[in-house]
Amino acid sequence: MIKTRYMPTAGRLVGAVSLGALGWFGSDMVRPLMPDYTSFGWFNYVNLVLGILCGWFVMGSRAGRGWGEAISNGLTGLFALVFWGFFAQSFNLMLKQSLEKRFEGPVEAILGMFKNAAEYAAYLVDPMLIATLTVGGMASGLVTEIAARRWS
């Protein structure tokens, strides 16, 4: 069978569903770690969509290469999800702060976005969260590999 770059496959679907579920579950674990005054809004939904996109494009495109690489694939998808999650949430906060006139210019706003991401990271250094995401990422990689082998 000819594989194309954007062709839907079972590996892509399972990668998207599993990493999306991990994004939602991880978002629920993050909520108690943040300060009480934090307004979450669309937090879970944004991380769900990011998980689906990272599962489809990052994990699904690399599925079917072997069991050892399946674990690496899952961790790569997890790191992509965490990176884009930090980016999206800190960008959202930067936009809110910009509307409140906390920055004098665009460069200061972009630097503020990195500061916001670092503050978020400080709250998320929790062993249970890190262990859950790591094991969940490896499991996502393995089920994506199983789907890619079984239904391709």
In the three-class reduction of DSSP (H, G, I as helix; E, B as strand; rest coil), residue 84 is classed as helix
Arithmetic mean of pLDDT over the chain: 92
Q: What is the DSSP string of 96-142?
A: HHHHTT--SSHHHHHHHHHHHHHHHHHHT--HHHHHHHHHHHHHHHH
What global pTM score does this model have? 0.90
The pLDDT score that the predictor gives to residue 33 is 92
For residue 75, pLDDT over 90 is answered with yes
Each domain of the chain, given as residue ranges in start order, spans: 10-30+49-150
For residue 6, pLDDT over 80 is answered with no
Reference 73, options 88, 89, 56; nearest CA is 56
Cβ(41)–Cβ(110) below 8 Å = no
Per-residue pLDDT tens over the stretch 92-144: 999 999 999 999 999 999 999 999 999 989 999 999 999 999 999 999 999 99
